[in-house]
């Protein structure tokens, strides 16, 4: 150890060691050349660089022209590429042995919180074991934020994940590394986790597809969670991320329909196999959630919502407006964030402090906004004991669940559509609270994010008193991906995917016709 290393804090030495180990695993032939690095404005996170439009993958010369041709022209979709890989594996299997499973030979990336034996872990997460038995190839783990409790994927080891569409903007969190990799076509299919929006917000930020199943449908045991464990107030979900809807269903169907079934891998998973649902009603009744005054939509998000409603109406579906008040958006958000810290402890921050790490900036932003929520819907919260708080919050959850139960029945809804966030990807460390995603975790609803349109030019918008959204800066955010979110009631995961496919085809009919 050099004298300089000896004076470094322990966390800094550990981070440096981990970076060197990861870099050593990349073949020299696969390294991005310095000439390409030097041609880009630095630091990337402070400059508006669209890595996708710059075609940096081709310019790196890591892939051959033959490898790039079909992908770069868009002649093959991700589904067709996946299908081709499976067909090749099928032929090879017939000639040289049996196929291992329905995902035979398919490379799948996984969020860093999932354990993969032989990295820093000694055993696999339950889902990793299952994917391997289904024939998948685990080839890469992807970046997450410190503590995984923020929408900006930054940590002291690998730094910050940037949006491939605009490096000035966040890739989202906490599955930001997965979504950025998928957006750059570095993975055909990925696995993320979601306890407040961690699959869906990065999907929005990176212009990809993401599916949050109902909790415990897909195995999620033996992974690193955001807290210390022992008290689970909101159950997270594990789900797929991809560049198209079909890939989301391929992964979900393969896992839920597997033999042996998921419950034999994970003792905590619900023993509910994949359900083959009948044909959908050709005229769907779709609730459209209107914006909450405390979480107003940025101009491009509002425009995307309106365009989606128009497309679906023209296709013959019924659109039923739902007010934020009857959907209890602000109410649910307050309950969610109080459940995350009902006993005033902050186990995740304690872990950071014990390691001597500096906290990342976005966590402080989220903490400040959560504190500003106050106790509008749960008065007297601070005067309660921890057990009283937990009991009260769970009763509030029951009330919100009952209200939504009545809402589904009153309007006879097939699904509800809303934005994943009031904003697109925003500048680093500026993403606000997860008002339009975390209430689905509270109620354990499955939800799917579908990319649709890009942000155009609009006037700047400043956040007002009593609002919890970042300011809108048109010059920085122009061109950012926009999305819609489709969700159904609890455990109707198969219906959620099927309806999302209908919505996706409708929104992109000009591209698929």
pLDDT tens digits, one per residue of 396-445: 999 999 999 999 999 999 999 999 999 999 999 999 999 999 999 999 99
* Whether 172 contacts 178, CB under 8 Å: no
Residue 255 pLDDT greater than 90, yes or no:
yes
Asked if residues 469 and 463 have their Cβ atoms less than 8 Å apart, the reply is yes
E strand spans, 323-426: 415-418
Decide which of 30 and 88 is more confident. 30
Task: Locate all alpha helices (DSSP H) within 196-328, ordered by sequence.
Answer: 200-206, 245-256, 299-314, 324-327
* CA proximity to 505, closest of 320, 311, 287: 311
- Alpha-carbon distance of 353 to 355, in angstroms, equals 5
User: pLDDT tens digit string along 358-404?
Assistant: 999 999 999 999 999 999 999 999 999 999 999 999 999 999 999 99
Strands 237-242 and 154-155: unpaired
From residue 85, how far is each of 89, 90, 105, 107, 208 by CA, in Å?
6, 9, 7, 10, 21
Angle (deg, nearest 10), helices 78-96 and 245-256: 40
Long-range Cβ pairs for the range 88-93 (8 Å, 24+) = 89/135
Please give the mean pLDDT across all residues of the chain. Answer: 91
Q: Can you list the alpha helix ranges (DSSP code H) found in 412-446? A: 438-443
CA 300, chain centre distance (Å): 20
The three-point CA angle 179-339-327 to 5° equals 75
Band the pLDDT of 513: cuts 50, 70, 90.
very low
Contact 373, 335 (CB under 8 A): no
Residue 85 binned pLDDT confidence (cut-offs 50, 70, 90): low
pLDDT of residue 84: 61
Residue 85, Cβ density class (10 Å: 0-12 exposed, 13-18 middle, ≥19 buried): middle
Active-site residue list: 111, 174, 198
Three-state DSSP class for 285?
strand
Model confidence pLDDT, tens digit, residues 134-147: 999 999 999 999 99
pLDDT of residue 93: 45
Looking up tokens 């999302």 gives 500
């Amino acid at each position: 150890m050099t004298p300089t290393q000896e004076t470094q804090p322990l966390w800094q030495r550990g981070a440096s060691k981990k970076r060197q180990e990861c870099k050593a695993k990349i073949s020299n032939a696969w390294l991005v050349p310095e000439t390409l690095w030097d041609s880009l404005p630095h630091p990337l996170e402070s400059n508006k660089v669209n890595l996708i439009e710059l075609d940096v993958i081709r310019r790196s010369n890591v892939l051959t022209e033959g490898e790039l041709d079909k992908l770069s022209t868009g002649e093959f979709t991700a589904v067709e590429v996946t299908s081709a890989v499976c067909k090749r594996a099928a032929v090879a299997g017939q000639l040289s042995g049996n196929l291992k499973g329905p995902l035979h030979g398919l490379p799948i990336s996984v969020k860093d919180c999932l354990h993969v034996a032989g990295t820093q872990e000694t055993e696999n997460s339950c889902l990793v074991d299952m994917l391997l038995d289904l024939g998948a190839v685990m080839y890469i783990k992807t970046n997450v934020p410190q503590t995984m409790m923020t929408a900006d994927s930054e940590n002291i080891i690998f730094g910050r994940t940037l949006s491939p569409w605009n490096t000035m903007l966040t890739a989202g969190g906490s599955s930001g590394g997965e979504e950025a990799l998928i957006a750059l076509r570095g993975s055909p299919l990925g696995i993320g986790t979601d306890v407040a929006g961690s699959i869906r917000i990065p999907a929005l930020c990176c212009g990809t597809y993401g599916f949050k199943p109902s909790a415990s449908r897909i195995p999620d045991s033996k992974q690193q969670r955001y807290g210390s464990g022992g008290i689970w107030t909101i159950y997270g979900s594990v789900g797929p991320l991809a560049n198209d809807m079909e890939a989301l269903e391929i992964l979900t169907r393969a896992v839920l329909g597997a033999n042996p079934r998921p419950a034999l891998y994970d003792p905590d998973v619900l023993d509910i196999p994949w359900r083959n649902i009948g044909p959908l009603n050709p005229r769907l009744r779709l609730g459209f959630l209107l914006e909450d005054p405390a979480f107003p939509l940025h101009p491009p998000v509002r425009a995307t919502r309106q365009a989606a409603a128009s497309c679906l109406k023209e296709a013959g579906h019924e659109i039923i407006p739902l007010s934020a008040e009857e959907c209890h958006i602000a109410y649910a958000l307050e309950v969610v964030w109080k459940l995350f810290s009902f006993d005033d402890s902050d186990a995740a921050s304690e872990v950071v402090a014990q390691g001597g790490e500096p906290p990342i900036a976005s966590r402080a932003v989220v903490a400040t906004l959560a504190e500003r929520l106050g106790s509008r819907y749960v008065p007297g919260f601070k005067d309660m004991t921890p057990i009283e708080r937990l009991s009260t919050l769970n009763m509030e959850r029951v009330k919100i669940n009952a209200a939504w139960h009545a809402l589904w029945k009153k309007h006879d809804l097939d699904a509800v559509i809303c934005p994943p966030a009031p904003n697109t990807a925003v500048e680093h460390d500026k993403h606000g609270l997860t008002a339009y995603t975390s209430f689905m975790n509270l109620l354990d609803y499955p939800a799917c994010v579908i990319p649709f349109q890009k942000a155009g030019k609009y006037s700047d918008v400043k956040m007002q008193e009593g609002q919890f959204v970042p300011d809108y800066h048109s010059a920085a955010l122009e061109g950012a991906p926009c999305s819609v979110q489709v969700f159904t009631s609890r455990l109707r995961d198969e219906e959620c995917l099927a309806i999302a496919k209908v919505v996706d085809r409708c929104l992109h009919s000009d591209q698929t016709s």
